[in-house]
A and B are shown apart, each in its own frame.
Chain A
Amino acid sequence: MNIKHTDWALEHLEDHLQAAVDLELWTIPFYMSAMYSIKDRESDAYQLIRTIINQEMLHLQCAANIANAYGFSPKITPPVYQGTKIPHLNFKLDPSEKTEPYMPYTAEIGPLDLKHINGMCLVELPEFDPPPLEILLESLINEYSTIGAFYDALRFGASLLKGHIKGGVRQVDYFSAFYRNMPNMTVTESGGAGFDQISLLIDLITDQGEGQCKKDPTVPSVFQNTADDTEPSEDHFVKFNQIKDAGGPDGCKLPETFSTKPVSEYTPEDIQLQNILVKQFGQLTQLLESLFRGENPDNFFPVMASVGGALRNCWEHGVTPKFSETNQH
């Protein structure tokens, strides 16, 4: 159901910002699991996914910084990975000819295979038409067809409420050295000037990844990684399609992944490895929440790095990673 612009209240904006955080967070374990399942760390697929994961972390930071500028510190909860459900996106709203090439897909944690690379492409599916003059503001957040449409709405709502922006509140910046052309990664100003900064961060998110409609798919130089990206000018959708195309129509040319074993064959050590990942990812979500709440937890990055190691450890032992006890089959 559409709502009127004037009905946008701070609470509704917060819902959108929380949804943005949820969505960015959701992608990280999903993509990480696919990346770490690849045996050859030098493979193009591994390296491309690595660059995308880094940018998803950046996008999570951006979404949290925007939220904090409105006085709202986002909640970080372990995402759910079930069936084909990707939070807040409804692909049924997309033209079927746009989504058909990426079927079948899955939203469950797993190795890099055809279904997973399809799911990754769908997450990053661009808007194929320019944004309508009349921005559609959905009352239900999962009524957006693409992330681009979602962020268009968020930007519009944010502009309506720019008077609420306070700069310099609980801003986090771990990435500016990787983007030397980017003026600022944080919201330091209040009001209208602060909105310009917020709008820049939304542009960064959508131009790098989640499918802003644009005639030229090249990521503008201001948003290009200047340090450690193999293809800094390509957006996520292009990168994932590159992997999908190289994998062939049935995905059999995708890079070799670690073989997995059925749960029934897990040893106590295997289960321990899975539990370590669950525990560390749980810690990570708590630390992220405190990070975006203005605290400065010392062990945030060590735990985040440890999650990567625990994940890799699972795959190397044939164990499918698990990020929470309850939110994943």
Chain B
Amino acid sequence: MTNKTVFRVHPSVNFARFGTSEDYILSPETSAGLPQKGTDITGGLPIKKGTQNTPVTSNDLRDEDGNLKKQAARFRIYAYDFDGEDSYPGGAGTQVVVGTTLADGRTVKDLIWSSHLANKKAAAYNVVNNKGIEAYANNQVPQMRNPEVHGTIDSDYRLNRLMIDAGPRAISASSGDIAKFNRCSEAKCVQTGGEIVPLPKYPIRFPEDTNDELYEPSGPLDTLGEIRTDDEGRLLVLASSGNAVGQYDEYGVPIQMTGDLNNVGWFDSASDGPVNVTLVFDDGSTEEAFGAWVVCGDPAYAPQIRNVVSVWDDVYNMFVRDLGLQPDLYGFTHHEDKCQYKPTYKPNFTQDIQPIFIACNLQRWTANLPPLALHAHTAVEAITEDNDPNETIMAALNFIRNPNKDETNIGAPLMPLSLGAAGTSFLTVTKTQYFMLEQWSKNQFEKGEGTALGPGEILDMASMANCLGGRYVPGIEVSYTIMEKDIYQQDWKTSGSGPFRIKQYPLTYEELSKDKPYLNIGWIPLHNMTDGLEPGDISKFMAIPWQTDYNSCSIHATAINTDGVNESNGAESTLYWSWPSQRPDAVYVAEEVYNNVLPQQKWSIRGKGTYAVNPASAATFQDPLQSVQDWDKIGIIVQGTNIDGDREGCDTQKFSPELYLEVQSQLTNPGDATDPVPAWPFNANPTKKKRGCPH
């Protein structure tokens, strides 16, 4: 077969993040917490606007008025020489920008980008926190959100009232245009040949269409974000401000939020959708790239604090086990007559093992770990490729919960000690992570830098590695559906798409009517749906509004995952962290650090409105309404290297690269009293005794 050039957009899944400022920085293109060559700044920091890869410093996080800057998702195009069969890692890929000349002599004249953002949360099904994806098993579905709005899940009546659909937008890099996903900006799509076509009949939907008045604590929900290009023609997707609005009840009071996940009568401005590009060449020819997906969601409050299990770990695990990503790692074995991990496979210490160890030690900056744990975690991170695994603290993987066994109810000393997926008390590493660790513990591993990933592959990995994995209850950026093979292009080896690419449901934008919603409720899991995702089909599995879940998911007893019954091997009142790396719980405030001496930890969410009678609700806004209003005041955890030490009244001080400290919080001032942070283990107040029969 003759080789041909294919184009792919990377990262295959990218994340834009909310901000209340009109200004923005760029989402990180390095992996959280990992060492970077030539610098002591670890990966995961957002990038300064207008630069290739200059990490932000603490003063870049807010604008002059103190508003939180958005994080724009930057998409790049890479060209690949495709011979009809892809493997992973490919290691190749050449970036294509406006002006790039290909090997065949064609020069890129313009790039026509398009995207389509929607939010189907209010129209979708409830998140069931103790069932997770199993709520969709056996041809079942959970209850619908907003059940008082009549109709079936796909009825026009419900979708018109509950779905937010900004419609598609398209821009050319050469125009320098900005397209906003709001009502005032016209919907546009791209037709074959790269022509941008207006869609005046597109049924744009926002909550204000069917609600005379809405409670708008942070302004109207009238946009889902925007797209623009940078000076090299790469696409930037900016999220909305992250605001949420609520309906009023019959008494004119904002509808009470009753929980974390499925609040009736509320909308937020999260979204997701496809990203596509048509390359226009100087000879008049055009080529379409394999598109990507953008998710617009929560801010990254601790961008360098690596999750022990990230979205990347979960997606990689699924591709390895279900979609033949690396047959030398996992595949069919004839003498066993089944698929299994290959005993001959040697993971690379730097790429496959060390990230887990680094993540372990980084948890200290966002969780209230006791001193013994801090020493242990330090010892884990100190392990190098030259150590004999049998002589380390990780010998025999004695403290790692085995995902192949029924160990999810065993707490300390097994790690990770944070809460687990739906129905389980504690988190486990993925089966692929565990296999890699097993190989390492048997001295079956390679030293050195390992197999080089291509630049696009690095972006794919970094983007997802910076997001919360494992505990999708329902998650922060994405939920459990991100691990479903049904949502991906499963023909990744032969189609030219490459792996990790979400399959897009074909949207032709034909037969449009202002009265009839264009999108349906779309893809749902475990229903044999493999025809691709519509806009909004990722974010609809998240909490509504997003702030109440972020706020609530600080610390819990394990029973929250297991139908209210303590299944763990510890006290029912013992509290554990929900999402410690992505949702900081206990932090060190940079302003209180002198000479690199750490102060007492403080809760990340603290100050007015956060004082908790029950430790189980510490570190949260006690009123969910406050979480909708004040989420942008929460501080960000940044490595000492990138903290601007211009403390008022003090000499500029430098912080150690070893420290990751909270900056830019607007919740308290230095010296304010706050709830104390006890070292783990700590306990919730006793639960109320159930009333028995008096007779």
Chain A interface (Cβ within 8 Å of chain B)? 40-42, 47, 174, 177-178, 180, 225-230, 232, 272-273, 276, 280, 298-302, 305-306, 308-310, 312-313, 316
Question: Which of the residues A41, A230, A302, A312 comes within 8 Å of B378, measured between beta carbons?
Answer: A302
- Tell me if A229 and B406 are in contact (CB < 8 A): no
Q: Which residues of B contact A226 (CB under 8 A)?
A: 571, 573-574, 681, 683
One of B7-15, B250-258, B390-398, B620-628 at the interface? B390-398
For the complex formed, measure the closest distance between the CB of A146 and the CB atoms of chain B, giving whole angstroms.
29
Which of B390, B407, B573 has the most chain A CB within a 10 Å cutoff? B390
- Tell me if A306 and B570 are in contact (CB < 8 A): no
For the complex formed, measure the closest distance between the CB of A262 and the CB atoms of chain B, giving whole angstroms.
22
Q: Which residues of A contact B574 (CB under 8 A)?
A: 226-228
How far apart sit A228 and B409, CA to CA, in the bound complex (Å)? 12
Closest B residue to A231 using CB positions: B569
One of B369-377, B511-519, B521-529 at the interface? B369-377
How far apart sit A42 and B411, CA to CA, in the bound complex (Å)? 10
Closest B residue to A314 using CB positions: B396
A-B contact pairs, 16 of them (CB 8 A): A42-B406, A174-B371, A177-B679, A226-B574, A227-B681, A228-B412, A229-B570, A276-B390, A301-B376, A305-B393, A305-B413, A306-B391, A308-B413, A309-B397, A312-B395, A313-B390
- Tell me if A301 and B372 are in contact (CB < 8 A): yes
Closest B residue to A269 using CB positions: B390
Q: Which residues of A contact B398 (CB under 8 A)?
A: 305, 308-309, 312-313
- Tell me if A227 and B390 are in contact (CB < 8 A): no
Mark each residue of chain B from 565 to 580: 1 if its CB lies under 8 Å from any CB of chain A, else 0: 0000111011000000
- Tell me if A309 and B393 are in contact (CB < 8 A): yes
How far apart sit A41 and B394, CA to CA, in the bound complex (Å)? 16
For the complex formed, measure the closest distance between the CB of A204 and the CB atoms of chain B, giving whole angstroms.
18
- Tell me if B376 and A228 are in contact (CB < 8 A): no
The answer to the question of B682 belonging to the interface, with a C-beta cut-off of 8 Å to chain A, is yes
How far apart sit A308 and B681, CA to CA, in the bound complex (Å)? 21
Question: Which of the residues B394, B411, B414, B682 comes within 8 Å of A177, measured between beta carbons?
Answer: B682
Which of A41, A280, A305 has the most chain B CB within a 10 Å cutoff? A305
- Tell me if B395 and A228 are in contact (CB < 8 A): no
Chain B interface (Cβ within 8 Å of chain A)? 370-372, 375-376, 378-379, 390-399, 405-407, 409-414, 569-571, 573-574, 678-683
- Tell me if A47 and B569 are in contact (CB < 8 A): yes
How far apart sit A23 and B634, CA to CA, in the bound complex (Å)? 51
For the complex formed, measure the closest distance between the CB of B615 and the CB atoms of chain A, giving whole angstroms.
10
Q: Which residues of B contact A300 (CB under 8 A)?
A: 375
- Tell me if A272 and B390 are in contact (CB < 8 A): yes
* Chain B facing A: main interface SS: loop
Q: Which residues of B contact A309 (CB under 8 A)?
A: 392-399
How far apart sit A227 and B680, CA to CA, in the bound complex (Å)? 9
Q: Which residues of B contact A177 (CB under 8 A)?
A: 370, 678-682
How far apart sit A174 and B393, CA to CA, in the bound complex (Å)? 19
For the complex formed, measure the closest distance between the CB of A193 and the CB atoms of chain B, giving whole angstroms.
26
- Tell me if A310 and B395 are in contact (CB < 8 A): yes
> Closest 9 A-B residue pairs measured CB to CB?
A309-B395, A302-B379, A227-B681, A309-B398, A228-B570, A313-B396, A312-B396, A301-B375, A301-B372
- Tell me if B392 and A232 are in contact (CB < 8 A): no
Which of B372, B378, B396 has the most chain A CB within a 10 Å cutoff? B396
A227-B681, A228-B571 are known contacts. Are A305 and B390 too (CB-CB below 8 A)?
Answer: no
Closest B residue to A39 using CB positions: B405
- 17 further contact pairs, Cβ within 8 A, besides A42-B409, A301-B375: A178-B681, A180-B682, A180-B683, A226-B573, A226-B574, A228-B411, A228-B570, A228-B574, A229-B570, A272-B390, A299-B379, A302-B393, A305-B376, A309-B398, A310-B395, A313-B390, A316-B396
For the complex formed, measure the closest distance between the CB of B596 and the CB atoms of chain A, giving whole angstroms.
17
Question: Which of the residues A174, A229, A306 comes within 8 Å of B392, measured between beta carbons?
Answer: A306
Q: Which residues of A contact B397 (CB under 8 A)?
A: 309
Closest A residue to B575 using CB positions: A227
How far apart sit A301 and B374, CA to CA, in the bound complex (Å)? 9
How far apart sit A228 and B396, CA to CA, in the bound complex (Å)? 23
How far apart sit A42 and B371, CA to CA, in the bound complex (Å)? 26
- Tell me if A41 and B414 are in contact (CB < 8 A): yes
Closest A residue to B411 using CB positions: A228
Closest B residue to A180 using CB positions: B683
- Tell me if A42 and B410 are in contact (CB < 8 A): yes
- Tell me if B407 and A42 are in contact (CB < 8 A): yes
- Tell me if B410 and A229 are in contact (CB < 8 A): no
Closest A residue to B568 using CB positions: A228
Q: Which residues of B contact A313 (CB under 8 A)?
A: 390, 395-396, 398
